[in-house]
Amino acid sequence: MGARFLLLSAVCLSLMILDRRDQHLERVRQGLSVLVYPVRVLVDLPFSGWASVRTNFATRDALVAENEALKRERLNSEFRLQRLAALEMENARLRELLDSQARVGSRALIAEILAVDLDPYRQRFDLNRGLIDGVYVGQALIDARGVVGQVMRVGPLTAEAVLITDADHALPVSVNRNGLRTIAVGTGDSGRLRLPYLTNNADVEVGDLLVSSGLGGVFPAGYPVGRIAEKRLRPDQAFAEVIAEPASALDRDREVLLVWNAADEVPRASEAAAANRSNAD
């Protein structure tokens, strides 16, 4: 046994030395590696397949999470843009109202519309101003384009107003072109006013501007009310059929301007002076 072991050891060492010097076994190793490669692939396949599946699922989850995050960011951006657009429009409306307030000359106050009557035959809405703000029954309302309506009821903190297009409302107006005075009556339609007291030969034309005449002391004189949209002569009747379109944005307003007439200011100032004198006494 010892001699055989020594012999085999000598043979192995000789082969190793020869292989080291002349690379005789390289082709054998290459052939064996080719034969062994499929076995290695089969052995490694479950592990590589599982790693690939994990990578694919992780990548898909990351893409889904990124997609959801981008959707949320887009929605937030659109929300901010919509709010910015609303704020810009509100700012523009307030600037227009402030310009109207500067043109009024007497006292005026901006009021916000809180609620609108949903009854199609009632053109009415509630305001966030009331007795504590000095609002009174009959007070005129305007917006940046013209006359809107007037106050009907007043509470401590709120007031109810009626549009000029309400079927129960009438407004003294005059034709701006020639000063012809008449009455504009509401129709229940926010886009139409009726002028029932104009005769067939009245000097009015389609496109004529109607302004508040100031008669009655409710609405300040000279504010736009509407424009003549239709005029139909009725020879068999005494009066023509004349329809006007309101100048103000009655169905789009969110803020209006409460206006105090100079005639209303005088008695209120006198009352305040009297109250001050009585307090001083």
Query: pLDDT tens digits for 131-177?
Result: 999 999 989 888 878 889 999 999 999 999 999 999 889 999 999 88
Sequence-distant (≥ 6) Cβ neighbours of residue 86 within 8 angstroms? none
Is pTM, for the whole model, over 0.85? no
Same domain, 100 and 173: no
Phi, psi values for residue 178, rounded to 5°:
-130, 0
Same domain, 43 and 94: yes
Rounded Cα–Cα distance for residues 281 and 274 (Å): 11
Same domain, 45 and 143: no
Same domain, 189 and 59: no
Question: In a 3-state reduction of DSSP, which class is residue 18?
Answer: helix
pLDDT digits (tens, 9 = 90+) for 41-100: 676 777 677 777 677 767 777 888 888 888 777 766 665 665 565 566 666 666 666 665
Sequence-distant (≥ 6) Cβ neighbours of residue 189 within 8 angstroms? 165
Question: Which range marks the domain in which residue 89 is found?
Answer: 25-104
Same domain, 77 and 111: no
Domain count across the chain: 2
Residue 218 lies in a domain: yes
